[in-house]
Amino acid sequence: MNEGIKDREIEAVTLFGNLEHSTAVGELRDLDNYCKLLEEFQQLTFNIITKHLEEYKYSKRAKKARRGTDIAVGKDYDWNIYGDSFHIYLYSGNITYDMSNILLIAMKIQLAWFTSQTNMKNMKEDRPLLDLNMGIDSGMVILGVRTWRHEMGDLTPRIEGQPVNRSRTIAMLANNGKLSKIFLSEHATKVIRMKPNLPIRLVQEDTSTLEGIIQDIPLYELAAYWDHEVFDFLPEGMKEEILGNLEQAFQRITPAKTHLWLYPLVFRYYLRNEEDQMLKIMRLDSIIKYGVSLLRSFTEEEIKRYCDYYITINNMIGMAYFLRNRYEDDIRMAANTFRETLRYTPKNIQAVFKLAECMIAYKNYNAASKLYRYILNVDPDNAKARELLEEMEKI
């Protein structure tokens, strides 16, 4: 480094993403069409990154480097898009905040790319989807300006270090993903565990597949998603386009175990309060139609393998039946759906509460009381169950 320009050793979260099989796709297209694919990918990624960093108060106020000054004053992120890949670095000084944001950015880009014009065209033509693989890592990195860059007059600080290299390799391995294709290192999951209320779940991968590539670094796949934050902080106009494309996607793709991550995300959004009653009913109908179609395609082995997803989606279908309550058997179908959840996860408190609501709708208060007692047997400190049980006993 040049004298007077200081390196900074900082803790950063890194995200690397690249399009799966895009090189092979490029060989099947002429140069003009391949460039259009890259243009769509890059513009979409750019829109999401810049919008998110603005909404979540990241700032890039790097001052022009002067002799004897710290080149990175005021700078808390960096990113780059090149070809069919992108790299993002967050280093605000709050590592758990940075990890939360990198996960949100990854989810937004994944969702937007799934519903991109390229993939929607592939769906219509029954071609394989062009998936996006991502790798996330965290750790200490160097932020600084190499001598040769300084000699060229480029004083922009750059991130270098093992987390940068590892996130790139992890993204390559995400090709083996079964759920979100967003993989995290062991170190990244330790950061997540520092913030236990982060609303996500992780599934550990079989590390034997990493032999000769990454050793002694277990990998995890992101398996559960935020809801409103993913949609509400998408760039202007993109939310409506994505939701419209998702409706088409549900109608076109055969229930795909490789895209299970979409269902809870969209269904959770659909279950939010909606003032427009017609739209609300349409969304509840969609949850029931597409959710039931998906779960019917599961074998017993797949239910065990993807139990978290199966149960989450099943509960959402039950809630959709209960909230719709337009047809004579909607409440009965809701109750049966929650019983199905309890068949696989007997201590699923959410399903027990919802089943009790169904019993109350039937005015079967005795059955509801038994369910609240069951909850208290599982969780003696559950204040909500105790309060509702007392109400039942007054009836």
Task: Name the residue type at position 375.
Answer: I
pLDDT along the chain (395 residues), means of 10: 63 93 67 89 94 84 38 69 94 92 92 90 83 93 82 80 88 82 91 79 64 65 69 77 80 66 82 84 92 91 87 95 94 98 95 97 95 96 95 87
319-373 pLDDT, tens digit per residue, is: 999 999 989 899 999 999 999 999 999 999 999 999 999 999 999 999 999 999 9
pLDDT at 67: 37
Q: Is 42 helix (H, G, I), strand (E, B) or coil?
A: helix
Are the C-beta atoms of 34 and 26 separated by less than 8 Å?
yes
pLDDT at 389: 95
pLDDT at 224: 62
How many C-beta atoms lie closer than 10 Å to residue 200's C-beta?
Answer: 17
Tokens of 16: 């690397």
- CATH architecture label of 238-394: Alpha Horseshoe (1.25)
pLDDT at 213: 55
Are the C-beta atoms of 247 and 285 separated by less than 8 Å?
no
Tokens of 21: 């099989």
According to CATH, where is 3.30.70.1230 located in the chain?
8-232
pLDDT at 4: 43
CATH superfamily of 8-232: Nucleotide cyclase, GGDEF domain (3.30.70.1230)
Burial class (CB in 10 A: 0-12, 13-18, 19+), 20: buried
Closest to 257 in 3D by CA, of 309, 315, 183: 309
pLDDT at 199: 67
How many C-beta atoms lie closer than 10 Å to residue 308's C-beta?
Answer: 16
Nearest-angstrom CA–CA distance, 389 and 342: 20
Distance between start and end Cα atoms, the chain? 78
According to CATH, where is 1.25.40.10 located in the chain?
238-394
E strand intervals along the chain: 8-19, 77-82, 85-90, 132-144, 158-160, 182-185, 202-204, 219-222
109-153 pLDDT, tens digit per residue, is: 998 998 899 988 888 888 878 889 999 999 998 888 788 877 888
pLDDT at 388: 95
pLDDT at 253: 63
